């Protein structure tokens, strides 16, 4: 039960930023040794999230994918990192200038498509336990993926 509460707290902390994040971590984690580890984990998650989103905004696909995947490994049950990785992998496939563009290298495109399929499927699993907004986003991403598969 404690592990679930800690994961829920950590995911909630990711939605905050700056000073709010620091205050939330202090309130949630306290000052003990295990709480210090949770605080470090929260800091790492926030850093990965921020870097991943910044890399996406700059269309640095490979680096964004690596960072966001690392975040999903750190927080495997967290919805937002799963969504961001699914979006990143779909954007990678749709951008004509990416090295994964179907017109540039069919083998790389197919490998990237398979990774996107697995990622969207995982996000859909997590979204099924969430609100209808997340379920709608998951369905939209699955539809976009289906359109890519047909092309």
pLDDT digits (tens, 9 = 90+) for 108-139: 888 899 999 999 999 999 999 999 999 999 99
Distances (CA, A) of 43 to 24, 29, 87, 143, 147: 11, 12, 23, 34, 37
The sign of the dihedral angle between the CA atoms of 75, 77, 78, 84 is positive
CA distance 133 to 55: 25
- Between CA 69 and CA 64, with CA 99 as vertex, the angle to 5 degrees is 25
Cβ-based neighbours of 83, under 8 Å, separated by 6 or more:
123, 127, 134, 137, 138
Alpha-carbon span 37 to 124, nearest angstrom: 30
Question: Residue 149 corresponds to which tokens in the numbers above?
Answer: 């598969």
Q: What is the pTM of this model?
A: 0.76
- Residue 95 has a pLDDT of 83
pLDDT at 90 over 90: yes
Give the DSSP H/E element, type plus range, for residue 117.
helix 106-128
Q: Which residue has the tokens 């902390």?
A: 13
Tell me: pLDDT of 107 over 70: yes
Cα–Cα distance measured from residue 127 to residue 72, given in angstroms and rounded to the nearest whole number: 14
């Amino acid at each position: 039960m404690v592990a679930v509460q800690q994961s829920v707290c950590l995911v909630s902390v990711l939605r905050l930023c700056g000073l709010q994040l620091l205050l939330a971590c202090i309130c949630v984690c306290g000052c003990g040794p295990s709480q210090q580890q949770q605080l470090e984990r929260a800091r790492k998650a926030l850093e990965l999230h921020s870097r991943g989103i910044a890399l996406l905004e700059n269309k640095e696909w490979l680096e964004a994918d690596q960072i966001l995947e690392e975040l999903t490994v750190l927080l495997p049950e967290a919805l937002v990192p799963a969504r961001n990785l699914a979006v990143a992998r779909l954007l990678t496939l749709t951008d004509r200038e990416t090295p994964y563009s179907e017109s540039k290298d069919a083998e790389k495109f197919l490998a990237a498509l398979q990774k996107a399929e697995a990622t969207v499927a995982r996000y859909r699993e997590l979204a099924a336990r969430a609100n209808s907004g997340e379920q709608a986003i998951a369905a939209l991403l699955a539809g976009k993926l289906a359109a890519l598969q047909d092309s």
